[in-house]
Amino acid sequence: MSNGTLRILCLGYCFPPVASPESFVTAKTMAAIPDTNVDIVTASPYLFAQFPDHSMDAYVKSRFGRVERIDGTRYRLLGKISHFPMRPDRYLLLTGATVRAAEFLQPKNYDCLITRSQYHSIHAAGRKLKKRHPGLPWIACFSDPWSNSIYDRKLPLLSAWSDRLESLVLQEADALVFPTAEMQKSYVDQNPNVAVDEKSHVVPHGFDPSLYNQGPARDPGQTINIGMFGSFYGPRTPHLLFNAIDRMSEDSSLPDFMLQVYGGGGENFDNEMARYPAARKHIVHGGVLPHIDALARMETCDLLAISDAPMPPPSIFLSSKMIDYMGAYRPIFAITPEGVTQDLVQRTGGWVVDPDDPAAIAAKLSEAIREIKARKVRPSERVRNDYRIDRIGGRLRDLLDQTIAQMGQTL
């Protein structure tokens, strides 16, 4: 690792106080890169439908330099149209404004450029900036799949154009970063005409211990409290967990338990709750919590649950919420197909079950509740420490130094 201080220009539409998981991931990751000065070009939170989350304002102020936010009346319309027909996403319309904001910061004064998706259209701005400043090393970071996302509905012409843009980004970026080896392999396999493997790196998301209370491990009380955090949308619904609890409600031998659900998608919650009336006494919806409050609430739970959207195995997804759970140092129960999340939960000592087997979900969750009540569970601290944000930041600094050196830059 170089001893020099790097000046980094980071572009990403999701950054606090934008209320999205990627905002919090970007803030923690970029702040953790050692010996750096980081300036940000991002979107105003008023360009998104959700309310801003100001819980990390002090964190951002103490760790970053300039933060240039794109805003304006016409841009704010982007957050108000529910089905905007644009690919890869609606924020492609911010490309010109993003480049202008970046130019205002004088890219020639930086050692490297980093673009962070979601949203993938940010990489279009990265391409334009790279063309203007070809000597500026460009690292493109992908938090999730682009053209083959399970949430993406194909549109004639627009999707083909987006696929082409993705290919150009993969070709022209000097380095590529993926959060899991499985996602990296997926990009390699789907882009045989691009040398993805030769310039890509795996740097996972991380948790920042300073954002938790870090109190002593708590013993379970009379009622086992299960926490589930995250929004419901599209194929992400709580029905698998609700179905399991509905089945479990008939088992009088189980210790008392309560599932506390936090996040957006209250309508989906209500719809599913109506289908499983027997489960109602064991489930409560706590609404949306600010990110810092959510982390604190996780630490008060006896068990943390995650339910991935159904998909053919192996799953390449490892959600940032899973890493938040690891930071809380609580046992984890995951309904997830074979893949990266299942592997990690097993390594931490948690419970995993395939979403295709409702009876098994109920049986496995019952097992978890009984073992927690009997105080037989303690998550693996060794595995947890692999995802500390200081370790993640150090890995990212190493690949930045490597990329800059390969381009002949001197610090």
pLDDT digits (tens, 9 = 90+) for 305-317: 998 866 777 888 8
Sign of CA dihedral 115, 120, 124, 127: positive
- The number of C-alpha atoms within 13 Å of 201 and in the hemisphere containing its C-beta is 21
Residue at 274: amino acid letter: A
Structure tokens at 13: 């539409």
The reported pTM is: 0.93
pLDDT value of position 410: 43
Please tell me the distance from the alpha carbon of residue 289 to that of residue 309, in angstroms, as a whole number.
22
List own/partner pairs for 343-351 with CB under 8 A and 24 or more apart.
344/318, 344/383, 347/380, 347/383, 348/379, 348/380, 348/383, 348/384, 349/377, 349/378, 349/379, 349/380, 350/379
Domains of the chain, by residue range, sit at 6-206+389-406, 210-385
Rounded to whole angstroms, what are the CA distances from 207 to 22, 243, 328? Answer: 13, 31, 9
CB of 23 closer than 8 Å to CB of 60: no
Enter the tokens of residue 16.
């606090």
The answer to whether domain 6-206+389-406 has CATH 3.40.50.280 is: no
CA distance 109 to 349: 47
Strands (E), 281-348: 283-285, 303-307, 332-335
Task: For residue range 45-79, list pLDDT tens digits in order.
Answer: 999 999 999 999 999 999 999 999 999 999 999 98
Domains 6-206+389-406 and 210-385 share a fold: yes
What pLDDT score was predicted for residue 2?
45
Q: What is the CA radius of gyration of the chain?
A: 22
pLDDT attached to residue 157:
85
- Residues in the chain predicted with pLDDT less than 50, given as ranges, are 1-2, 409-411
CA angle 123–50–387, rounded 5-degree value: 60
Look-up: residue for tokens 């989906």? 268
pLDDT at 235: 63
pLDDT of residue 147: 84
Cα(382)–Cα(323) distance, integer angstroms: 14
- According to DSSP, the β-strands at 112-117 and 6-11 are parallel
CATH dotted code for 210-385: 3.40.50.2000
